[in-house]
Amino acid sequence: MSDQATLSDNDAGKITRVEELGYELRISQVMTTNVVTFSPDLSMLEALDLIQKNRISGAPVTLNGEVVGIISTEDLIRALRDGRIDRKVSDYMSRGLITAKATDKVVEALKVFQKKNVGRLPILDENHKLVGLLTKGDITNGLLTALQRDYQAEELIRYRASHLFEDIESDRTSLILRYRIIKDDFLHGGAASNHIKKALHRLGASRQVARKCGIAVYEAEMNLIIHTTNGGFLRVEVEPHKITMEAYDDGPGIDDVEKALTPGYSTATEEVRNKGFGAGMGLVNIRSCVDEMTIKSSKESGTNLYMIMYLDKSQ
Amino acid sequence: MKVKEVVEICQGTLLTPDVDLDVDIKGGFSGDLMSDVLASVQAEAVLITGLCNPQVVRTALIADIKLIIFGRGKKPGEDIINLAIEENLPIAYSPLGLYEIAGRLTKAGLPSYEMEMNLFPRD
């Protein structure tokens, strides 16, 4: 994280929700974790190169994982002014170390920044090993992120998702969702369909469309769980004008597709019925929910079920 | 009728704390086979069921059901309760039988939300 968009301590003091977040968030949630560190034996020139290359303004100096000092651009300037850029990092680093614990609340770090004239805090774990680095910019970013999460997160996601298709220009834009469905996995049965329904809702589908598609893929998902040899896949392709849902497996195939489409006809076992399935309404339900349904089934290649829902502008 | 009134009428014990009990329930539906539920329940209903597994919750979510009453004293396990809490769906269990529950709710003025076959008129 960079130092951009820094919120001054003064401003932060006036915003109560930010203060609250300061007490809620832990330093570990906002700190930078991929920390560039220097060895004390590094020359100041090498440190300068690394600072430029990594676009940072300072770094902790560590020896065997323990922080022994900190180098900032100020120290580099001092070395340059002295004409001693070839000296070791250990000669110029600040040693009066101020650190903070990763488990501390962000507000503790804010207090340190307010009281002490430091730009960055090395963050240590309970064994005093370096786990991160914290700047005011990190805190600002962390707070803004948390605020954003706070602020009607679901609506934001939904808004962004529903504008996805408008934002992208192509001859044909589509979003494809894929789910692997495992044979006999009743525990997770229906989970994929609920994810699909939620995704459609977020993408801006009406309640009615999301519900109908949800029912269709749920039935297809349960069929994969109950009736296949090795499970199968659900694939949903979302386009601005239609939703194509597909369920496919590699066997054993449907003996008599016409019969399978008869309301109440089921080949489910007693055990499956006891779980609440096998009403013989699966394909019937699907057909009544979607605009087009096609089944291709054979003993050799398994079953492919295509379901299409056309959308008009209002949906 | 509100969620809390429905639960009260069927002598239910609510299993999902912190859910909104003022959600409006527009009608009722009873069934043990999930495809039957999907085939003929209208949105925003209470589902009264004798089936007790996580699929009931997932089916309810798919069908926009707003409350599940597990009848015949079947208390759902932790897995079911946790899923319902996660999805913010109120669930309760009642010592009464399904016919009794449906009867009491009907008498209290909650209409049937079972659609006659055949379903989903094109709109």
Sign of CA dihedral A289, A292, A296, A302: negative
Mean pLDDT lowest for which of A4-13, A45-54, B12-21, B67-76?
A4-13
Asked if residue A1 is part of any domain, the answer here is: no
Q: Look at residues A119, A150, A181 and tell me which one is the last residue of a structural domain.
A: A150
Q: Is residue B39 exposed (0-12), middle (13-18) or buried (19+ Cβ within 10 Å)? A: buried
Asked if residue A4 is part of any domain, the answer here is: no
Are A178 and A73 members of one domain?
Answer: no
Q: From residue A65, give the alpha-carbon distance in Å to each of A119, B5, B95.
A: 21, 61, 62
* Residue B104, pLDDT score: 97
Q: Look at residues A150, A170, A191 and tell me which one is the last residue of a structural domain.
A: A150
CA A29/CA A54 separation, integer angstroms: 22
A-chain residues near B54 (CB < 8 A): 187, 189-190
Are A85 and A29 members of one domain?
Answer: yes
* Residue A158, pLDDT score: 67
**Phi-psi sector, A174: left (phi>0), alpha (psi -120 to 50), beta:** beta
Are A17 and A114 members of one domain?
Answer: yes
* Residue A8, pLDDT score: 57
B-chain residues near A189 (CB < 8 A): 54-55, 58
Q: Which tokens hold the place of B51? A: 């089936």
Number of structural domains (chain A) is: 2
Are A200 and A162 members of one domain?
Answer: yes
Mean pLDDT lowest for which of A65-74, A81-90, A267-276, B110-119?
B110-119
Question: What's the mean pLDDT when you consider all of chain B?
Answer: 91
Are A166 and A284 members of one domain?
Answer: yes
Q: What is the pLDDT of residues A235-263, one digit of tens each?
A: 999 998 899 999 999 989 999 998 998 88
Q: Look at residues A117, A150, A183 and tell me which one is the last residue of a structural domain.
A: A150
Asked if residue A65 is part of any domain, the answer here is: yes
CA A285/CA B36 separation, integer angstroms: 9
Are A130 and A186 members of one domain?
Answer: no
* Residue A116, pLDDT score: 85
B contact test, residue of A212, A215, A271, A273 with most B CBs within 10 A: A215
Question: pLDDT above 70 covers what percent of chain A?
Answer: 91
Q: Which of B8, B122, B100, B123 is nearest to B48 (CA)?
A: B100
Question: What ipTM, to 2 d.p.?
Answer: 0.82
* Residue B118, pLDDT score: 54
Are A162 and A134 members of one domain?
Answer: no
A34 or B28: whose pLDDT is higher?
Answer: B28
* Residue A20, pLDDT score: 75
Are A138 and A169 members of one domain?
Answer: no
Asked if residue A201 is part of any domain, the answer here is: yes
Give residue for tokens 């386009």.
Answer: A239
Question: Pairing state of beta strands A100-101 and A120-124?
Answer: parallel
Q: Does A199 touch chain B (CB under 8 A)?
A: no
Q: What is the pLDDT of residues A189-202, one digit of tens each?
A: 999 999 999 999 88
Asked if residue A146 is part of any domain, the answer here is: yes
Mean pLDDT lowest for which of A11-20, A275-284, B5-14?
A11-20
Are A194 and A265 members of one domain?
Answer: yes
Instruction: Domain of residue A179: give its range.
Output: 158-310
A-chain residues near B51 (CB < 8 A): 275-276
Mean pLDDT lowest for which of A3-7, A49-53, A166-170, A270-274?
A3-7
Q: Which residues pair with A125 in a beta bridge?
A: none
A-chain residues near B39 (CB < 8 A): 279, 281, 284-285, 288
Are A52 and A165 members of one domain?
Answer: no
Query: Does residue B117 have a pLDDT over 80?
Result: no
Q: Tell me, what amino acid is at B95?
A: P
* Contact across the interface for B62 and A190, Cβ inside 8 Å: yes
Q: What is the pLDDT of residues A135-184, one digit of tens each?
A: 988 998 888 888 777 776 666 666 777 777 877 888 888 999 999 999 99
Q: What is the CATH number of the domain that holds A92?
A: 3.10.580.10
Query: Does residue B62 have a pLDDT over 60?
Result: yes
Domain residue spans of chain B:
3-107
CATH number for the region B3-107 comes to: 3.40.1390.20
Question: What's the mean pLDDT when you consider all of chain A?
Answer: 87
Q: Which of B25, B6, B7 is nearest to B15 (CA)?
A: B7
